[in-house]
Chains A and B, each alone.
Chain A
């Protein structure tokens, strides 16, 4: 079955970078897109960006541009999200979330910009 397994919790100092991984199981990795979504403590969900797992193309939310880097390793079916210049406001749980592949009439279409499977989340704490 489909599983997204993320790396463990991290504690970082302000100004540092963090790299979170998300390893996919149970499906053809390169047929899908993956998103990153974060959730600050007690707050709502915030979209960070999307990566095409086949070609590696990315697009990120304007507020993160320049600070977030999304990559993938097709040999290990793993997606990475690196956030740089960390500040206390970046303390959050970071989720990878798989985009839906819509198939109809023998053709499949992606991305659909909504999410059918999520990782378990990775808590990143930024504190001096």
Chain B
């Protein structure tokens, strides 16, 4: 099956670096995408194609990939970064789109 696994929660202090991982066999062949979702709001794309940052997204957001694991890194975390983060991938041959279960980032 096509599954993406994320840790349920990550906590960091302001100014520290947060790293959120997403693992899945398909990530070895397919790109990963990351979305930020704040309560009561629609998701916002923060990283696409593993490591590209859309215009308007702060430089403190970055992404990396290694084999079957992708990582979203937020450097110099700010209070406003507290949110849920979802990884996503896809298989166009299906087509099939899958999301990770989401990680709640808490800024202490």
Contact = CB atoms under 8 A, between A and B. Distances in A.
B58 interface: no
B99 A47 contact: yes
Contacts, number: 52
A44 B99 CA distance: 8
A95 B97 CA distance: 14
Interface residues of B, number: 23
Interface of A: 35, 44-47, 50, 59, 61, 95, 97, 100, 111, 113-116, 118-121
Contact of A44 (B42, B95, B102): B102
B21 to A, nearest CB: 16
Nearest to B32: A114
A114 B92 CA distance: 11
Contact of B86 (A45, A116, A121): A45
A113 B95 contact: yes
B45 A47 contact: no
A95 B35 CA distance: 14
A116 B96 CA distance: 17
B23 interface: no
Interface string B34-62: 01010000111100100000100000000
B43 A61 contact: no
Contacts of B37: 45
Given A100-B48, A116-B45, A118-B42, A111 B88 contact: no
A63 B88 CA distance: 18
A46 B99 CA distance: 7
A108 to B, nearest CB: 16
Given A44-B99, A118-B42, A111 B48 contact: no
